[in-house]
Amino acid sequence: MTDTPTLKRLAAEHAVGFVQSGMTIGLGTGSTAIFATREIAARIHRGELGGITAIATSRPVHEEAVRLGIPMLGEDLPEALDLTIDGADEIDPALDVIKGGGGALLREKIVAQASARVILVADDSKLSPALGTKFVLPVEVLEYGWRSQARFIAGLGATVAPRMAADGGMARTDQGNLLLDCRFGVIADAPALAIELDARAGIVANGLFLGIATDVIVAGADGIRHLRRRQ
């Protein structure tokens, strides 16, 4: 049986096959997407890819990409992106996903929405019959008034818990905001929930990525599957 880290690496390396020389690409955050960043760097150094520029979805990924020698764009995102490769926490049959387990959901969504193609990479444990079955919904909120946002989300039917950091304090995003992990159970109407969350002042971003992924590369014991969004 192939172990999970190997499956993640295989999915990420397969996705890098869609990267072509001259592309401007988004580099995702998380334990699967980092394999893609490393593979892109390796292909650049072997001379298989040239003219690549990239933007990272989190500071740790940016630092790793710089260390690996990938040319990087400025954080103002001066160009549209050809392709983004990122991970996912939960993927439903329509290729809608929950993201944000790594705390980079706002930057991930900005980069994804600026991309002509978004390829998500995952092992098959991330596949789910419905969003919310396996994973909580991360929501990024301003520190100011955050308890008000927690009460609002609880009123929508979730059990809400602030995400904690390893030092015992509240976890913070690259923007200095707080994260609420919201357990809704199975989300019956994800588009309606996203609209309610997006309309609330103080909520900066939610982890529902709906209609965004164009492709999903899934690695499992039976090999690699390429899932495509239905048009």
Cα diameter, the chain: 54
Q: Which pLDDT belongs to residue 1?
A: 43
How far does the chain reach from its first CA to its final CA, in angstroms?
A: 35
Degrees, nearest 5: CA angle 22-26-30: 140
Catalytic residue among 108, 140, 143, 196: 108
Report, as an integer, the average pLDDT of 82-104: 97
Q: What is the pLDDT of residue 9?
A: 93
Does residue 182 surpass a pLDDT of 80? Answer: yes
Tell me the pLDDT of the chain averaged across its residues. 96
DSSP secondary structure, the chain, as one string: ---HHHHHHHHHHHHHTT--TT-EEEE--STTHHHHHHHHHHHHHTTS--S-EEEESSHHHHHHHHHHT--B--TT--S-BSEEEE--SEE-TTS-EE--TTS-HHHHHHHHHTBS-EEEEEEGGGB-SSTTSSS-EEEEE-STTHHHHHHHHHHTT-EEEE-B-TTSSB-B-TTS-EEEEEE-SS-S-HHHHHHHHHTSTTEEEESEE-S--SEEEEEETTEEEEEE---
Amino acid, res. 132:
G
Q: Mean per-residue pLDDT for 194-210? A: 98
- Annotated catalytic residue 143: no
Confidence tier at 29 by pLDDT (50, 70, 90):
very high
Residue spans in the chain of domains classed CATH 3.40.50.1360: 4-126+210-221
List, by residue range, all CATH 3.30.70.260 domains of the chain: 137-204
Contact call for residues 182 and 89 (beta carbons, < 8 A): no
pLDDT in tens, 42-70: 999 999 999 999 999 999 999 999 999 99
CATH architecture of 137-204: 2-Layer Sandwich (3.30)
pLDDT at 173 over 50: yes
| 231 pLDDT tier (thresholds 50, 70, 90) | low
On the question of pLDDT at 21 being above 60, the answer is yes
3.40.50.1360, 3.30.930.10, 2.60.40.1890, 3.40.50.410: CATH of 4-126+210-221: 3.40.50.1360
Rounded Cα–Cα distance for residues 103 and 172 (Å): 8
